[in-house]
Amino acid sequence: MLASLRHRLHEAFVRWALHVRPPEPAPIVLTQRRVYVLPTPAGLAYAMALGVILLGAMNYNLSLGHALVFLLAGLGIVAILHTFRNLVLVAIRPGRCEPVFAGSLAQFDVVLENRRPDARTCLRLFMADETPIEVDIGPHASTVATLDAPAHKRGWLPMPRLTIETTWPLGLVRAWSYAVPDLDCLIYPKPAAKAPPLPWSGESARGASRDGRGADDFSGLRNHQVADPPRHVAWKAVARQQDGPLLTKLFEGAAAQQLWLDWDALPDAIDTEQRLSILARWILDADAAGLAWGLRLPAVRLVPDNGPAQVSAGLRALALHDHGAH
């Protein structure tokens, strides 16, 4: 009950502290109104120790005790100023975020820019309950910080709220601020650990390949891969070797091996997420085998092709299935 109340109060404070509705347009500049300062536990202990020393100096009329208290109090006030200045006016811009598969970690890059002639030291950044990372920024310089966030399901993952803080130089006070950069990460469906074999039957095996691997003229052998069709295995070459690896024949010509990875070819009993996982596995297997493949989804059709661009387009279509465009 108490934890829930604290969480609601914290979220209400964050919404007030951001001043704008997230996500925020770039660049995000941490102005004076956005930086908050409170004493740390060490700072509270420091203040209590000063109070005890002051009471002792007053009780025993020790002028050196008063001088010590005033000196240490001045040091604490200067520390507050330096901690605040270490964070204020830092600019934050969204960087890059490469697509990842569901179940892994999305990595968000943010660019931190120091527009002042003094260095920023020991800045800590974190999102939610993730482990903080620490960065330094030189005078009139910038640096890139990479923060991890768990990617639980496919689709677009907005960057979680970023907290940036510092306790430099003495650790007596904590200065912090919040930011929500406009950065999204595309999460692909998690490839199925066990998937049916690639669909070679019917029209799946017709068409032309751009890489020249086809079924007309024999061009050589390579190591067999799981996605290769059984009829392309060089059985005679394997028979001539004792305990040798399986080999696959490569061909050149216009009638190259192509695949159609079809949504409707999967059993009706399989639900949407399982279908997408199987199709993701098929895409990776077909690409590993160097095959040209096409994709048919209820609302998307990719013509047969191969290469990294085709893989990205196919996985993107799977990730955004029923999610609409972005």
Provide the H-helix boundaries in the chain.
2-18, 41-60, 63-87, 235-239, 272-288, 308-319
Delimiting residues of CATH 2.60.40.10 domain(s) in the chain = 2-188
257 has pLDDT over 70: no
246 has pLDDT over 80: no
Question: What pLDDT score does 294 carry?
Answer: 93
End-to-end CA distance of the chain: 39
pLDDT in tens, 263-291: 988 888 889 999 999 999 999 988 888 88
Model pTM score: 0.78
**Residue 156's CB: how many other CB atoms inside 10 A?**
13
- Mean pLDDT, the chain, whole residue set: 85
| Residue range 87-107: mean pLDDT, rounded | 95
CA dihedral (230, 232, 236, 241) in degrees, to 10, reads: -80
Question: In the structure, what pLDDT confidence band is assigned to residue 1 with cuts at 50, 70 and 90?
Answer: confident
The architecture in CATH of the region 2-188 reads: Sandwich (2.60)
CB 87 within 8 A of CB 165: yes
CB 283 within 8 A of CB 101: no
